[in-house]
Structure 1
């Protein structure tokens, strides 16, 4: 059988199956030609079509492929199973690898998979995302970590390295690479061991900070300001606050019924002071009918509430850091004499103020929804609601005139 004969059969268009070589057949079905290899494995007859048809695949190439299939069958390898495995999702770039890691690992294992996703998007993707997995070298890892270090974010540099190690460990597990290019690096190659942050704001600093934020509401919006006020008054985690929904709030009984979807996996009712109620009422108007307290500000957002980085970026600009558009704002807070702090430092400030006000340790810890440890967690099931209400009311009395003064300032 030669090319002219095959061309004639194709022009005729009749359904046909003709033997070309040992196990190799030329088939025309529904007017389309293809190569088919028939074989027997484990006592069962079967057949498989070659990936490319004639004339893209010549007679010679088809014979070579058929020969390879027969060799595989002799070794007990089913060509259909081999092809299916080959046709599974192919991972070529680091972006492909990360997506596979998300689907098959972190989305199943982690309660908050958005954290590593955020680190990858912000710190890793722009440096190595489009690189072939096998081409990433330790030098690339070092450059990526150093890029983060240059922005004066030591903790972020350490975490970026940690997630790089985990990501490429996933590649080793899938036999995509033989060694992990990030494995040999330690914290000393990033920012070194980081002690737990101790930064908290004094009352005098709180007064200056919130006054400065109010003066520059073109940079630090009113919604961001109110979010920071609630974080200081309630001591909640930022993620818990920005994802809160209005149905969770019982304004009449002055309670926020936080769902089980929090870091401790335990629902908790948070007492609301008069100041917190006033802030929530203002936010309710600003939400414009949204079911979320802090609705997303862009329609294209994947989540219905504001990004986890929104308030962080706003505060960063108040310290004069460059934003994504490369515009630099003055260091308003620094010029006001305020040492750098982060949004999470407001939670530490809340806890420190509760201690300063003489609030009992167990009550203060419960105010922050810290999970009890050891035998305390087993035997003490009291939720301290009344005690927490008294504590947070006392805290609000201390802070209200500093963070939520007369609305005349905002007109």
Structure 2
């Protein structure tokens, strides 16, 4: 069969439907949706069926893939398992903390966590600059303390998360036999950001008036996109992460609906969000401001992400309170006596506003895309679309004089 496969046929496989295409001698070309095709060898070792990737196409040609198969088949016949050999070679190459993190990410957190890029972002920003290029066995507890103390004052929650990830990272190194002790094990949250209290920050109507007034008076500093993002957050009650990377193809503007797809929400479940008149007006403005981008909030600066960054709103709001991470000279506090708040506090404020507008609790919970609890959550499959539209409209009507003034 392998003799009949040509480079031309390989191209037809790639353009066809996603599947495993058998080439011969256990070699397959694996074609996936929106992913680079790759070669895969299926073989039997020690009585078990196994698979090993060989390389991506066209980086690895058909002829080279066949040659690689021949070499690995010879190893298997001699009693060697290619997967075990590859793992041993990889473990020998894990010398620096960066190497250890890459192995931990690939073999643990990428498979285990729903959002593996969160620890990756923390490592890249707050750990890598300190110890990324240091040999694993040379990382001392003093270095761990330096890392968590560098972020504990400004970002106590992130300091606690960083300590947790450091403990897990070096525990992975112990599991692989690369180190004998964990340099982060003796530290507790007391050494990092402290014991965290549940946030209950919720803006009063007077605070909302003052905040949006200050945003508008300082729009050159705060930015119109940030202003409208805050308006959407407080009116719809969606999560910041759901809004910042929203794409225009998720919206049916003519039907006043936002279809938040599966996997984009924290719960993982899709939800259709009804949009009141004011939201449509803000979205129409954002459509013009997005200048043809696929995203409602495209990145305004050079960035790895094509949409608004994860901390853009946090930084914009913090700067209005006279604090901006990474700046030695801090900006002026423009908010007066208003207690600082985060974008997530606007979501909590939505819940409070819904209560003040006599919205039923189970309806506001669905507006927040929370799963209904207990027996009610099991048997109540009605999605309250009309009731949620009424709830969002009540809040939009209530806030319109403030936001659109």
Structure 1, gaps ≥5 residues long: 1-76, 406-411
d(CA) in 2 for partners of 1:283 and 1:119?
30
Does 2:244 correspond to 1:247?
A: no
Aligned in 2, Cα 1:174/1:386: closer, same or farther, shift over 3 Å?
Answer: same
Alpha-carbon distance change, 273 to 133 in structure 1, aligned in 2, over 3 angstroms: same
The 2-side partners of 1:240 and 1:234 are apart by 11
Deviations 1:170-220 (A, max 9, x none): 211221111222122222332332121011111110111111111112221
Q: Contact 2:101 / 2:169 at 8 angstroms: preserved in 1?
A: yes
Cα displacement (A) at 1:83: 8.0
Aligned to 2:200: 198
- Equivalents in 1 of 2:102, 2:243: separation in Å? 28
1:209 aligns with 2:215: no
Report the Cα offset of residue 377 of structure 1.
2.0
Q: Is 2:132 the partner of 1:140? A: no
Find 1:276's aligned residue among 279, 283, 292: 279
Within the alignment, does 1:352 sit opposite 2:352 as a pair? yes
Q: CA deviation at 1:141?
A: 1.6
2:269 aligned partner: 266
> Can you list the C-alpha shifts for 1:144-174, whole angstroms capped at 9, x where unaligned?
11221232x2222211111111211221122
Find the counterpart in structure 2 of residue 37 from structure 1.
none
Are 2:105 and 1:106 equivalent residues in the alignment? no
* 8 A Cα contact 1:275 1:404, kept in partner: no
Asked if structure 2 preserves the Cα contact closer than 8 Å seen for 1:219 and 1:317, the reply is: no
Partner of 2:298: 295
CA contact (8 A) 2:153 2:193 kept: no
Question: Structure 1 segments of 4 or more deviating over 4 A?
Answer: 80-86
Match of 1:154 in 2: 156
Paired position in structure 1 for 2:71: none
CA 104–81 in structure 1, closer or farther in 2 if over 3 Å, else same: closer
Distance 1:375 1:134, change over 3 A: same
The correspondence of residues 363-382 of structure 1 with structure 2, limited to 5 A, is 363-382=363-382
For residues 71-122 of structure 1, the C-alpha deviation after alignment (integer angstroms, 9 at most, x for no partner) is xxxxxx98x9998666426122222222222222222222212211222223
Structure 1 residue 394 corresponds to structure 2 residue 355: no
Q: Distance in 1 between matches of 2:192 and 2:87?
A: 39
Give the alignment's TM-score, normalised by structure 1: 0.74
Cα–Cα, structure 1 residues 83 and 378, in superposed 2: closer, same or farther, change >3 Å? Answer: closer
| Cα distance in 2 between the residues matched to 1:288 and 1:82 | 51
Contact 1:273 1:392 in 2 (8 A): yes
1:339/1:82 Cα in 2 relative to 1: closer, same or farther (>3 Å)? closer
Query: Residue 276 of structure 1: SS of its match in structure 2?
Result: helix
The 1:293/1:388 distance shift into structure 2, 3 A limit, reads same
- Superposed, which structure 2 residues align to 1:318-329 within 5 Å? 318-324=320-326, 326-329=328-331
In the alignment, which residue of structure 1 is the partner of 2:58?
A: none
Determine helix, strand or coil for the equivalent of 1:256.
Answer: strand
Partners in 2 of 1:194 and 1:368 — Cα distance?
23
How far does the alpha carbon of each residue in 1:271-310 deviate from its partner, in whole angstroms, 9 at most, with x for none?
11111111100000000011110112234x2222121111
Aligned with residue 97 of structure 2, among 94, 98, 101: 94
Contact 1:93/1:132, CA 8 A, preserved across alignment: yes
State how far apart, in whole Å, the 2-side matches of 1:86 and 1:392 are.
57
Match of 2:232 among 215, 230, 235: 230
CA distance in 1, matches of 2:245, 2:342: 19
CA contact (8 A) 2:144 2:183 kept: yes
Which one of the candidate residues 147, 164, 167 is aligned to 1:165? Answer: 167
